[in-house]
Amino acid sequence: MKKKITKHEYQAMVEEKAPGSHILKDLLFAFITGGVICSVGQIVMLIFEGFGADMQTRASATSIVMIFLGAFLTGINVYDDIAKFGGAGASIPITGFSNSIVSPAMEYKKEGYVMGVGAKMFLIAGPVLVYGIFSSVVAGLVYFIWKQVM
Amino acid sequence: MVSILKAFLLGGCICVIGQLLVDLTKITPARIMVIFVVTGVVLGLFNLYQPLIDWGGAGATVPLTGFGNTLAKGVIKEVDESGLLGVFIGGVKAGAAGITAAITFGYIMAIISKPKIKS
């Protein structure tokens, strides 16, 4: 009887402790992964700066390179491992957006090139674009009205 | 070198916020991505994201909040130039490079590569 209680208490203790350390580990890995990806982005940006590109061109060109890297690493089955390690650290950078396009498109290729690849590409990217573009329209309207009033 | 370290720190911190949301609220990564883009648009509208870009460079532009900021900046610029019509043009115009690159590279990579066999 006494043993059972101890076991039960132990269980409770584990449950109490585990989520905390689990979250801390997740946060650390997300920090490292996101940090490394953004550092790569910064290096790419510095290279474009070396070519004498202006700020806007640099940012766009860097996005294109990062998107390519994300798609490429997903294609060779590496990005999923990065995502397993880094969690949000892998999904929040633009490489993760790219991953979210290639990953389902590869998976559903057997369903054909139109409804498989073409449609499933946007399984996650679709919502991101819908809400991104819709909110940009709202932002534009807010700014337009604010300009008329002020 | 300093700019790379700053990008690491800022990019890392932004991703930690995302991971906190995942761990504490159990919302899916797809929703996190949507939340980050919309947050970027809101911050961009009020010109609050630019200071982060000035400090952290790619640490601010590479995360999806940076994409949201690009959309907001684009729509503001276009409204300044062409008025109400700009509301419907600016966002996608500014995001065009990213969207087109994602579709193009995404499509090509999906076509030429094979998914890993699940063990």
pLDDT digits (tens, 9 = 90+) for A69-123: 999 999 999 999 999 999 999 999 999 999 999 999 999 999 999 999 999 999 9
Interface test with A, best of B6, B32, B46, B109 (most A CBs within 10 A): B109
Which of A19, A7, A63, A16 minimizes the C-alpha distance to A37?
Answer: A63
Instruction: Identify the pLDDT of residue A55.
Output: 84
Q: What is the pTM of this model?
A: 0.89
**ipTM of the prediction:** 0.94
Residue that wins the pLDDT comparison between B53 and B26: B53
Q: Using CA atoms, how far apart are residues A101 and A79, in angstroms rounded to an integer?
A: 12
DSSP H helices, B64-118, are: 64-82, 86-112
Kindly report the three-state secondary structure assignment for every residue of A37-74. Answer: HHHHHHHHHHHHHHCCCCHHHHHHHHHHHHHHHHHHHH
Sequence length of chain B is 119
Q: Is the model's pLDDT at B119 over the cut of 70?
A: no
Contact at CB, A89 and B20, closer than 8 angstroms: no
Contacts of A133 (CB under 8 A, 6+ apart): B71, B91, B92, B95
From chain B, pick out residues whose CB is under 8 angstroms from the CB of A45.
57-58, 61
pLDDT digits (tens, 9 = 90+) for A13-44: 666 656 667 889 999 999 999 999 999 999 99
For residue A53, name the pLDDT band (cuts at 50, 70, 90).
confident
Instruction: Identify the pLDDT of residue A19.
Output: 60
Per-window interface: A 67-126 vs B, CB < 8 A: 67-68, 71-72, 74-77, 80, 86-89, 91-98, 100-102, 105-107, 109, 113, 117, 121, 124-125
Query: Looking at this protein, which amino acid is placed at residue A144?
Result: F
Which of A41, A117, A139 is nearest residue B72 as measured by Cβ atoms? A139
**Across chain A, what does the average pLDDT equal?**
90
Per-window interface: B 8-67 vs A, CB < 8 A: 8-16, 18-24, 29-30, 32-34, 36-38, 41-42, 44-45, 56-59, 61-67
Helix (H) or strand (E) segment spanning residue B53: helix B50-56
Contacts of A92 (CB under 8 A, 6+ apart): A34, B14, B15, B18, B32, B33, B36, B63, B64, B65
